[in-house]
Structure 1
Amino acid sequence: MDFNELLKVIILGIVEGLTEFAPVSSTGHMIIVDDMWLQSEQFLTKYVANTFKVVIQLGSILAVVVVFKDRFIDLLGLGRRGKAAQNGQGDLKLTHVIVGLIPAGVLGLLFEDIIDEYLFTTATVLIGLVIGAILMIIADIVTSRKPMVQTVDQITYKQALTIGFIQCLSLWPGFSRSGATISGGVLVGLSHRAAADFTFIMAVPIMAGASGISFLKNLEYFSIDALPFFIAGFISAFVFALISIRFFLKLINKVKLVPFAIYRIVLAGIIYVVYF
């Protein structure tokens, strides 16, 4: 086992875990460290690397499931309501989540090949980073008043659907799924924390579905020799996603979106300087 290769995949897992659910664009960050991938000569060939991306993303998804386990138990109607019921919660229904997923899910299926072929470039990611940052700043300015919806349990179907339509913007690489959906939630009257909760809950089925399809497409390139690297990447993504999600949920109502928007603009500047 090559230690340098192992270190690279651990770093990529850390980057994925820290950035997947924060509104800063994991794609933008992956571009910065992608040279590590391209320099890989042993196991992370082009196709194995595609499978690896799916594996580490699944680590991030698992972290969300762990953080919101009581919510998912309630949504699936399994067992008692647990902590959610004890806190007087549990009014969020699975149908709210489905309604929020429909717009991006439909567009994603219709335009998946076009997005993969034409939009995954450094230039398009730069555009997504900047425009997404502008949306986040607008969301904070427009909603400086007290939000009507303090918890995700108060969300309406209309709000869920509107957030779903705004989530479609995240199909543009670099825009950030969480950046789009949290901004959308805030714009329709949710508190930042309620919008973040709904965003993370929606992320699990849509990311799991996309990852599952991608994994099946690249399954033939799975290599037993690369298994230690997949495991290392998965674990690092899971651990750091767990840390990132818990920290972000405690922070978001205090700092809101503008600091993250500023960070995105700085990141776009760094990418521009490095690649152009």
Structure 2
Amino acid sequence: MLDALKVIILGIVEGITEWLPVSSTGHLILVGDVLSPNLSHDFMEMFNVVIQLGAIMAVVVLYFHKLNPFSPKKTHKQKLLTWQMWIKVAIACVPAAVVGILLNDWLDSVFYKPLPVSIMLIVYGILFIVVENRNKNRKPEVTKISELDIRMLLWIGAFQMLALIPGTSRSGATIVGALLIGVSREVAAEFTFFLAIPVMFGASLLKLVKFGFAFTGAEFGYLMLGCIVSFGLSIVAIKFLMNYIKKNDFKVFGYYRIILGAIIIIMTVVKAFLA
């Protein structure tokens, strides 16, 4: 029962932080360190990635009409534009897909630790503040996903590739990359949601294959529970973010990341000192 409660808390953390540009990995490391569920290290490593499937389903549900090229409610032109959007998503996913397949295990072994995660939290926190200050008096050049060209897509894809380093935040990295090239906040956030569908599905599949699908009944139940909770909180987080950025910039998330990164560093130092 206690482990189930801990899994619910982790699902809440994942659902809220996956779509906000604050790094779900950083939060899961911090909260997981405090909670310490009585589950194997290999299972928890897989769990922290695969509960993203719940978050993915939130995007699919909220944007189903926009994502569906077969919708009978769309005109022929709208269906073509939907296919065009999926092609753009595929192009932008190429850099992360290639590097993720080749270097996934190495990146996890080197960077999936409190100190690297905290450094990336702080670095991208500073970037958010710098980029937003730079864009303060600039008008966005891109206000629709259909206006993104191949150069822009590869640029955004390169930033998504950087997010393979834990603590960077996939949404944070792609939003920063998009803002740098003049994409509006709304388009940057929305396109980031769509990019997450193939990327997070692929990352989850890789983790499941690595784990070997060797679940006990309890572990499978915990994984499903985490996904369901993550789905529900993701719905809330996505709606909140899209409403928030209509009137506000991303700087508050930058400050938050810097504070969180500092907290993780302090906790790591104190833990090492007390060990």
Please, which runs of 5 or more residues in structure 1 have no aligned partner? none
**Post-superposition offset of 1:116:** 1.4
Contact 1:51 1:219 in 2 (8 A): no
2:188 to 165, 188, 195: 195
Q: Please give the per-residue CA displacement for 1:60-85, whole angstroms capped at 9, x wherever unaligned.
A: 111111122122212xxx233549x8
Change (3 A) 1:91 1:202: same
Give the AA of the match of 1:17.
G
Contact 1:8 1:36 in 2 (8 A): no
Aligned to 1:138: 130
Aligned residues: CA RMSD:
2.2
Mapped partners of 2:34, 2:8: distance in 1? 11
2:66 to 58, 68, 71: 71
1:15 to 13, 16, 25: 13
Give the AA of the match of 1:149.
V
Q: Does 1:112 align with 2:104?
A: yes
Q: Output aligned runs, 1:1-276, within 5 Å.
A: 3-36=1-34, 38-40=36-38, 44-74=39-69, 78-80=70-72, 82=74, 90=82, 92-144=84-136, 145-276=138-269
Mapped partners of 2:50, 2:157: distance in 1? 26
Aligned residue pairs: how many?
A: 267
Mapped partners of 2:83, 2:184: distance in 1? 16
Contact 1:48 1:223 in 2 (8 A): no
**Post-superposition offset of 1:138:** 2.2
Please, which runs of 5 or more residues in structure 2 have no aligned partner? 270-275
- TM-score norm. by structure 1 comes to 0.89
Change (3 A) 1:206 1:39: closer
Aligned to 2:272: none
**Post-superposition offset of 1:37:** 5.4
Contact 1:20 1:26 in 2 (8 A): yes
Contact 2:124 2:172 in 1 (8 A): yes
Change (3 A) 1:54 1:125: closer
**Post-superposition offset of 1:177:** 0.8
- TM-score norm. by structure 2 comes to 0.90
Give the AA of the match of 1:172.
I
Change (3 A) 1:261 1:92: farther
